[in-house]
Amino acid sequence: MEQKKDCYILGIESSCDETAAAVVKNGREICSNIISSQIDLHTLYGGVVPEIASRKHMEKINQVIEEALKVAGTTLDQMDAIAVTYGPGLVGSLLVGVSAAKAIAYAKKLPLVGVHHIEGHVAANFIEHPELEPPFICLIVSGGHTHLVIVKDYGEFEILGRTRDDAAGEAFDKVARSIGLGYPGGPKIDKIAKEGNPNAIVFPKAKVDGAPFDFSFSGIKSSVLNYLNHAKMRGETVNSADLAASFQRAVVDVLVEHAVLAAKQYGFHKLAMAGGVASNSALRIAMSQACEKEKIQLYYPSPIYCTDNAAMIGVAGYYEFIKGTRHGWNLNAVPGLKLGER
Amino acid sequence: MKILGIESSSLVASVAILTDDVITAEYTVNFKKTHSQTLLPMIDEVVRMTETNLEEIDAIAVSGGPGSFTGLRIGSATAKGLGLALEKPLIHVPTIEAMAYGCFRSNDMICPIMDARRNQVYTGIYWFEGETMKEVLKPCAMDLCDLIKEINKYQREVLFLGDGIPVYREKMIQILEVPYHFAPSFMNRQRGAVVAELGAKYYVEGRIEHAREHLPDYLRKSQAEREREAKLHAST
């Protein structure tokens, strides 16, 4: 019998402020995962500056691709397809990865597979959990996205809920800025919150009436700002650690409640988390406890696969590739690409 | 020698293949569609029409700016991807210089102007001495009035080209003190053929770069950087 050939995918990601490339073997084995982060550059401006991000991607794009191939001990000739994030994200950033990926695929006569960034985050769960297969419930929480979905099959989603306003990570960034922690807010709040009392201040829950799986984070963000302003007017000093811990708790509680409710209501015993906020330690602890209680198996990627990376794009790209998804040389960046859209 | 020329610094998308001293194909579109959707299909078209084997290309010449930041990046990222995959060098051809070179051996002073918004133009000034093009004003972003004042100083006939003309024509006519001409349609925009030709010239001179190192020359910092510097400057 003919032995099955290995399948190699080169994944490329440039949707926000990380330039990344990775080589993925047979869908779940990561041969290399190169990430060039621009975070220090954007810290100067208190957030990602799109034009600066785009320029930085231009500086790094070839380097990370060459490095990914080298670390994997492979060449382009061994690749079976090129997978690239084409949305959602910052259009100028996306275009760098998309243009380079298309040119490489074209020059090497390789199939081109456009990947949805969020599908990539979901797929990050497959890397370290070989037993995990759809269907399962997934909570996607990052700086730009907050979704609660049923992953029905590879690349097939049913959206149960989403944020009505800010993304969870965005709320972390804004609150961090208001208490002078700076950018990026998520890890900074996570850290300082460890020294604070999560019950010190009661903030409203980020719920939406009549939509049990939707989220709203603008209300809690405003409450934090109001709290700070009131304290300032009264000349009181605010305990930043208590405030961060209380804010974080209010966000985490809702994320956990909704995700666990979704799993129970739809009869799933598998729940995964994805996106940058899935690295948050309070969220991981609270979700683990809730899932244990409800006998739900919880999955989440290591922090390196929670952050924007190309390994996850290679994984998601692999499943699209074997399904037959192909994109043409006219593939465009789609900054507002919807989940499940092709 | 085979050179692929890529130009996407403005609304014009243009690609060309130069085979020795013949432009075997040139495909230019000056229409609204985004370059990210059109550029690679256009390259594919000229490659197929000329039965070119991509591996035979000696280098990829790309119009390196100034121009639309996004347009430049699409062209440069495409060139970088091709260079990486084909293991071929890139040639950075300054956009303004290529525009001027398209008016080969014109007796006039040549002044390309690209609309750079905010009352500014990307421009440069050139003239030919025999077959050699001399750079009188190197590519820069400048106020239109300052440019015309500069041109008036030389007291030479001047030939203008570029997409800045329709935007600033009236204003230019008002303040010009030298005889002037506006280039006709076929030579008043960026062309992939000129990028390829000038690229070939540079290639022979060894002015090539590794695809990894290539970056567009924006000639302008991002707005956030400008504002930050202004703030720092004001506070010192």
Q: How many domains does chain B have?
A: 2
Classify B5 as helix, strand or coil: strand
Question: Is B204 domain-assigned?
Answer: yes
Q: What is the number of CB-based contacts under 8 A between chain A and chain B?
A: 107
Summarize pLDDT for A129-170 with one digit per residue, the tens: 999 999 999 999 998 889 999 999 999 999 999 999 999 999
Asked if A298 and A287 count as a contact pair (C-beta separation under 8 A), the reply is yes
Residues B91-104 have pLDDT tens digits of 999 999 999 999 99
Cα separation values, B154 from A290, A300, B122, B128, B183, Å: 79, 69, 19, 14, 19
Same domain flag for B164 and B205: no
Residue B22 belongs to a domain: yes
User: Cα-flanking dihedrals φ and ψ of residue B56, to 5°?
Assistant: -80, -15
Q: Which pLDDT score, from 0 to 100, does residue B186 have?
A: 94
Same domain for B122 and B110, yes or no, is yes
**Is B6 in the same domain as B86?**
yes
Q: Does B29 touch chain A (CB under 8 A)?
A: no
Write out chain A residues lying below 8 Å of B29, CB-based: none
How many angstroms separate the CA atoms of A149 and A130, rounded? 20
Q: Are residues B182 and B195 in the same domain?
A: no
Contact assignment for B41 to A108 by CB distance below 8 Å: no
Same domain, yes or no: B14 and B59: yes
Q: Is residue B215 part of a domain?
A: yes
What's the CATH number for A133-303? 3.30.420.40
User: Could you tell me if residue B232 is inside a domain?
Assistant: no
Domain match, B7 and B89 both: yes
* pLDDT for the residue A190: 96
Residue B139 is assigned to a structural domain of this protein: yes
Nearest Cβ partner of A58 from B39, B76, B84?
B76
Is residue A2 scored above 60 in pLDDT? no
In order of A41, A149, A218, A224, A234, the CA distances from A228 in angstroms are 28, 34, 15, 6, 10
- Tell whether the model's pLDDT for residue A201 goes beyond 80: yes
The CATH number covering residue B150 comes to: 3.30.420.40
Cβ <8 Å between B40 and A102: yes
- Nearest-CA distance A159 → chain B (Å): 30
**Which of A19, A34, A48, A102 is the best residue to mutate to test the B interface, defined by the most B CB atoms within 10 Å of its own CB?**
A102
Compute the distance between CA of residue A316 and CA of residue B236 in angstroms, rounded to an integer: 50
Over chain A, what HEC string results?
CCCCCCCEEEEEECCCCEEEEEEEECCCEEEEEEEEECHHHHHCCCCCCHHHHHHHHHHHHHHHHHHHHHHCCCCHHHCCEEEEEEECCCHHHHHHHHHHHHHHHHHCCCCEEEEEHHHHHHHHHHHHCCCCCCCEEEEEECCCCEEEEEEEECCEEEEEEEECCCCHHHHHHHHHHHCCCCCCHHHHHHHHHCCCCCCCCCCCCCCCCCCCCCECCHHHHHHHHHHHHHHHHCCCCCCHHHHHHHHHHHHHHHHHHHHHHHHHHCCCCEEEEECHHHHCHHHHHHHHHHHHHCCCEEECCCHHHHCCCCHHHHHHHHHHHHHCCCCCCCCCCCCCCCCCCC
Which pLDDT tens digit goes with each residue over B58-98? 999 999 999 999 999 999 999 999 999 999 999 999 999 99
Judgement on whether residues B152 and B197 belong to the same structural domain of the protein: no
Q: Rounded to the nearest 5 degrees, what angle is found at the Cα of A311, between the Cα atoms of A121 and B212?
A: 125
Best of A74, A79, A99, A329 to disrupt the B interface (most B CBs within 10 Å) is: A99
Contact criterion met (CB below 8 Å) for B84 and B212: yes
B74 plus B113 within the same structural domain: no
Q: Are B49 and B186 in contact (CB under 8 A)?
A: no
Whole-number mean pLDDT of chain A? Answer: 94
Asked if the structure places residue B7 within a domain, the reply is: yes
Q: What's the full length of chain A, in residues? A: 342
Within 8 A of A91 by CB-CB distance, chain B residues are 70
Interface of A with B (CB under 8 A): 44-45, 49, 51-52, 54-55, 58-59, 61-63, 65-66, 76, 91-92, 95-104, 106-108, 328-333
Count, residues in chain B: 236
| Per-residue pLDDT at A46 | 82
**Cβ–Cβ of B81/A328 closer than 8 Å?**
no
Looking at the fold, whether B81 and B41 belong to one and the same domain comes out as: yes
Beta sheet of A156-162, edge-to-edge order: A156-162, A146-153, A136-141, A270-274, A297-299
Please report how the helices A281-293 and A240-265 are oriented relative to each other, as an axis angle in degrees rounded to 10: 40
Collect all residues of chain A within an 8 Å Cβ-Cβ radius of residue B54. 107
In a domain, B225, yes or no: no
Do residues B132 and B207 both lie within one domain?
Answer: no
Do B11 and B44 fall into the same domain? yes
Average pLDDT over residues A234-262: 95
d(CA A248, CA A245): 5
Contact: B216, A58; criterion CB under 8 Å: yes
Q: Say if B234 falls within a structural domain.
A: no
**Parts of chain B with a pLDDT under 70:** 236
- Closest approach of B181 to chain A, Cα-based (Å): 36
Chain A residues with beta carbon closer than 8 angstroms to that of B34:
332
Tell me if chain A has a CB within 8 Å of the CB of B216: yes
Classify B59 as helix, strand or coil.
strand
Burial of A341 (0-12, 13-18, 19+ CB in 10 A): exposed
Please list every residue in chain A whose beta carbon sits closer than 8 Å to the beta carbon of residue B228.
44-45
| Residue range(s) defining the domain that contains residue B26 | 2-95+191-220
- Domain at A8-124+306-323: CATH code: 3.30.420.40
Half-sphere exposure of A186 (CA within 13 A, CB side): 23
Q: Check CB contact under 8 Å for B36 and A99.
A: yes
Best A54, A56, A57, A62 residue to mutate vs chain B (most B CBs within 10 Å): A62
| Other C-beta atoms lying within 10 Å of the C-beta of residue A311 | 31
Q: Residue ranges of the domains in chain A?
A: 8-124+306-323, 133-303
Give all strands (DSSP E) within chain B, no chain letters: 2-7, 12-19, 22-30, 59-63, 90-93, 109-115, 120-129, 132-143, 158-161, 180-182
pLDDT band at A16 (very low <50, low <70, confident <90, very high): very high
Pull the structure tokens for residue A194. 């460890």
- Taking contacts as CB-CB distances below 8 angstroms, the residues of chain A near B38 are 330
pLDDT score at A287: 98
Q: Given this chain, do its domains A8-124+306-323 and A133-303 carry the same CATH topology?
A: yes
User: What gap in Å lies between CA A10 and CA A61, rounded to an integer?
Assistant: 13
